[in-house]
Amino acid sequence: MVSVRSVALSCLVVLGFVAACGKDSPPRPDDPPDASVPEQCDGGGAARCGGACVNTEVDPAHCGGCDNACASGQTCEGGVCIARCQIDGQQVESGAVNAANACEQCVPATSATTWTPRADGTQCASGQVCSAGVCGPKCFIDGTLYAEGEPNPANACEVCTPATSTTQWSARRSIPLLVGGADITAQGWRTAVQGPNTLTYGADYVRLETSTTPGGRTGGQLLLWRANAVDATKPFKLEVTLQVESASRHNSLDSGAAILGSFTPTVGDSVDRSQMIYLESAAIGWADDTQSAAFPVIDGAYHVYELAVDAAKVATVSIDGVAKLTRNNFTVDGNIAIGDQTNDPTVDGVMRIKSVELLCP
């Protein structure tokens, strides 16, 4: 027979066991930490990455989080990777222009340690664009660079004028055919010559001089001519700025100082010579003597002589803007000439040509 005392002891043992079983079980090993969540550091940095405390606000290897490395040429600022250049010991923002050269900028993707040239045609200053990394007065039109003063290949009456526009052609008043002081051959001019004569250059002019040897049966000839100077199928205006120092009285169809709006080398054919403009001491006229006008040609000054031929082939000669001569049925072959056209004895001349221009419509 089980005693009451035995039962009581058994219950106490069971209750103790149950109580023991009700306590927390022994701790298990920790789960591995989530690598994407940096552990906080007690000090020395904002977070622990790879066993070291780092500042994810500025560390390019852990920018904004562990193992979030910035690319080459980038720095970490505020936990964000930002492109930068390191040039001459200085950090430079991506896209920043070199203060010493407006045609260079920081392009980390190209070079993080040196300045990168900006694209040709980039505006770098007023009236200037970049060309091979240098800022200068040029035009960038339709993807092509043009030097200042360079004409449009498709229209000689348009020119690169950077001060007006670096991206579009600018209209020009005239096309220079001869610039005084510069080599005439390099400008497309040829000569028809017979001695005695001299051709010399001044700062802004070319000087032509002919003479006759005493007792000589012929005189000097010095004629500058240019082929295809004008379009023979279209109206044109030719402007010649010159000074006549001396000129003999002309002979019919011959002149020691002349302007020819058509020319067949070496002295001109009968048509060229008949419609030639002669210049002498106090008058100008057509060389066939059909018309003349009084004018102080030899006065020590430069004058602007204009020959205009319209669509109806009517020619008008003006001096300093004042009409002096007209002629119908003017023949044009595209060539022009200026100077002493004849080798007649004692029919000589001396002149200075400053410029020859074809006016634009």
Give the model's pLDDT for residue 326: 98
Kindly state whether residues 136 and 278 are assigned to the same domain. Answer: no
- Domain of residue 338, CATH code: 2.60.120.200
- 35 within some domain: no
Q: For every one of its 361 residues, what pLDDT tens digit does the chain have, with 9 covering 90 and above?
A: 444 344 343 433 333 443 444 444 454 555 555 554 556 676 545 788 888 899 988 888 899 889 999 887 778 878 888 888 889 989 899 999 999 999 999 998 889 899 999 999 999 999 999 999 999 999 999 999 999 999 999 999 999 999 999 999 999 999 999 999 999 999 999 999 999 999 999 999 999 999 999 999 999 999 999 999 999 999 999 999 999 999 999 999 999 999 999 999 999 999 999 999 999 999 999 999 999 999 999 999 999 999 999 999 999 999 999 999 999 999 999 999 999 999 999 999 999 999 999 999 9
Judgement on whether residues 207 and 318 belong to the same structural domain of the protein: yes
In a domain? residue 345: yes
Cβ count near 47 (within 10 Å): 19
Does 350 share its domain with 248? yes
Q: Is residue 165 located within the same domain as residue 208?
A: no
Structural domain range at position 90: 47-116
Q: Are residues 193 and 341 in the same domain?
A: yes
**Residue 196 and residue 313 share a domain:** yes
Task: Based on the fold, state whether residues 159 and 239 are members of the same structural domain.
Answer: no
Written in H, E and C, the secondary structure of the chain is: CCCHHHHHHHHHHHHHHHHHHCCCCCCCCCCCCCCCCCECCCCCCCEEECCEEECCCCCCCCCCCCCCCCCCCEEEECCEEEEEEEECCEEEECCCECCCCCCEEEECCCEEEEEEECCCCCEEECCEEEECCEEECEEEECCEEEECCCEECCEEEEECCCCCCCCCCEECCEEEEEECCCCCHHHCCEEEEECCEEEEECCCCEEEEECCCCCCCCCCEEEEEECCCCCCCCCEEEEEEEEEEEECCCECCECCCEEECCCCCCCCCHHHHHCCEEEECCEEEECCCCCEEECCCCCCCCEEEEEEECCCCCEEEEECCEEEEEECCCCCCCCEEEEECCCCCCCCEEEEEEEEEEECC
Distance (Å, rounded) from C-alpha 256 to C-alpha 248? 6
Domain for residue 111, yes or no? yes
Same domain? For 326 and 214 the reply is yes
**Which of 92, 116, 140 corresponds to the end of one domain?**
116
Residue-level pLDDT at 37: 53
Q: Does residue 237 belong to any structural domain of this protein?
A: yes
| 178 lies in some domain | no
Q: Are residues 165 and 228 in the same domain?
A: no
Instruction: Note whether 155 and 103 are same-domain residues.
Output: no
Rounded Cα gap, residues 166 and 159, in angstroms = 11
- Same domain, residue pair 335 and 352: yes
pLDDT score of 6: 44
Number of domains in the chain: 3
pLDDT at 13: 36
In this structure, the answer to whether residues 218 and 152 fall within a common structural domain is: no
Q: Is residue 102 part of a domain?
A: yes
* Threshold 0.75, pTM exceeds: no
Q: What angle do CA 190, 196, 202 make, to 5 degrees?
A: 60
Number of alpha carbons in the 13 Å side-chain half-sphere of residue 77: 7
Q: Is residue 291 in some structural domain?
A: yes
Q: Looking only at Cα atoms, what is the longest distance across the chain?
A: 180
